[in-house]
Amino acid sequence: EHLRPDGGRAITIAIGNFKGGVSKTTTAMVLAQGLSLRGHRVLAIDADPQGSLTTLFGIMPDTEVTEQQTIAPLVYGDTTSIRSSIQPTYWDGVDLVAASSTLFSAEFVLPSRQMKDPEFQFWDVINLGLEDVRDEYDVIIIDTPPSLSYVTINAFMAADALIVPLPPNALDFASSAQFWSLFSDLASNLVENAGISKTFDFIHVLLARVDSADVASDVVRSWIAATYAEKVLPVEIPKTAVTSSSSAEFGTVYDINRYEGSAKTYARARDAYDRVIDLVEASIRNSWLNQ
């Protein structure tokens, strides 16, 4: 028994922001877990050569990931399907395409393939690679690197939806504005040069790592609301110790059901993420209806 309608295909969500440290990878992990807890079959794709999402799954990018287990074979053109790169994870219901530093080479390989073969569409490698598995998952989540790289462009072009984690502080807000202008430049370039037009079923801006002690964040929050309007999800992820220690021993809020530091802190973080999953799940169902 599956949640998506008959004939429906996986909704692919890219987690993106060209800034590092804004909670992209944490968001990708929590979404994967939270959606799978509600019965969705999830494929998580780590498209960041730093392999942080892979690490959160307990797999060490430098020593435990082969090139075959990443998107590298797609990038090199050794395969046209992502299937052979997929591995199961400790988390039931979530499969993973891992990442390692081997993916740094994608930034040279993709443009050089394009140079050798003008027909080669450098932005479409992940999208085409997913085609083979889109009817086997409900949701595909792609964690992206903090840059407008060839791999990031691929992730966005493969995605039906975009989630942009954004802490409400001035510098992160400023770089998010840059994110949108770079991305729309890129999109209009592809439209002009290749006849591609890219739209998303939904774009959510997620206020993440919100520090309640930071008085400046109220001001920035109002800038964000004015700029992104209804794209901003009506929930904030607090900055909590329970989340920051997730990469170490505790796991995410979905791996643990209590936090030794403070039960209240744990409940606050857990409730916020549950609410995000509610909202994202509603958007996913809506996308299925419009498929």
CA dist., res. 260 & res. 262, Å (int): 6
Q: Which is nearer to ligand ADP, 212 or 286 (CB)?
A: 212
Tokens of 36: 């799978």
Nearer Cβ to ligand ADP (80/244): 244
Q: Is 224 in the site for ligand ADP (CB under 6 A)?
A: no
Nearest residue to 268 via CA among 253, 256, 279, 286: 253
Q: Does residue 209 interact with ligand ADP by CB under 6 A? A: yes
Query: Are the C-beta atoms of 212 and 173 separated by less than 8 Å?
Result: no
Per-residue x/- marks for Mg ion, 16-55, CB under 5 A? --------xx--------------------------x---
Taking the C-alpha atoms of residue 158 and residue 16, their distance in angstroms, rounded to an integer, is: 13
Residue (26 or 283) nearer to ligand ADP, CB: 26
Which of Mg ion, ligand ADP, none is residue 154 near (CB under 5 to 8 Å by kind)? none
26 binds ligand ADP (CB under 6 A): yes
* Pairwise CA distance, residues 230 & 226, whole Å: 9
270 contacts ligand ADP (rule: CB under 6 A) = no
Both tokens of 123, joined, read 């932005």
Nearest distance in Å: CB 209, ligand ADP: 4
Which of 4, 9, 24, 40 is the binder for ligand ADP (CB under 6 A)?
24
Residues 129, 82: contact at Cβ < 8 Å?
A: yes
Beta bridge partners of 163: 15, 204
Choose the one of ligand ADP, Mg ion, none that binds residue 21, judging by a C-beta under 5 to 8 angstroms depending on kind.
ligand ADP
- CB neighbours of 122 closer than 8 A, spacing ≥ 6? 110, 111, 113, 114, 150, 153, 154
> Residue 95 and residue 90: Cα distance in Å, rounded?
9
What is the C-alpha to C-alpha distance for residues 89 and 58, in angstroms, rounded to an integer? Answer: 9
User: Is residue 23 close enough to count as binding ligand ADP by CB under 6 A?
Assistant: yes
Instruction: Give the one residue of 4, 41, 239, 270 binding ligand ADP; rule: CB under 6 A.
Output: 239
Task: Point out which residues bind ligand ADP (CB under 6 A).
Answer: 20-26, 52, 146, 208-209, 237, 239-240, 243-244, 246-247
Task: Point out which residues bind Mg ion (CB under 5 A).
Answer: 24-25, 52
